[in-house]
Amino acid sequence: SVPIDLPRRDFAIITHRDRQPSLAQTALRAHLGKADLPPADRG
C-alpha cells in the first residue's frame, strides 16, 4: 500500500466526499508524484 501523508483538513475533506474515488486518486497521486498529476487534470 502507498503511504498517504495529508493534513487533517485535507483528510477530512476527502473522507467527507466520495471516499473510495478520492482515496484511490490520492494514493495514485502520492505514488506517481503530485507533480505528475496536476489537480486541473484530476479534478
The residue type at 15 = T
pLDDT on residue 43: 45
Fill in the amino acid letter for 18: D
Share of the chain above pLDDT 90, in %: 0
Q: What whole-number percentage of the chain has pLDDT above 70? A: 23
pLDDT, tens digit (0-9, with 9 covering 90-100), for 2-17? 666 656 666 666 555 5
How far is Cα of residue 22 from the mean position of the Cα atoms in its chain? 6
CA–CA dist 15, 31 (Å, integer): 19
Average pLDDT for the chain:
63
| Residue 39: band (very low, low, confident or very high) from pLDDT cuts 50, 70, 90 | low
Place of cell 495529508: 6
Tell me the average pLDDT across 14-28.
66
One-letter amino acid of 38 = P
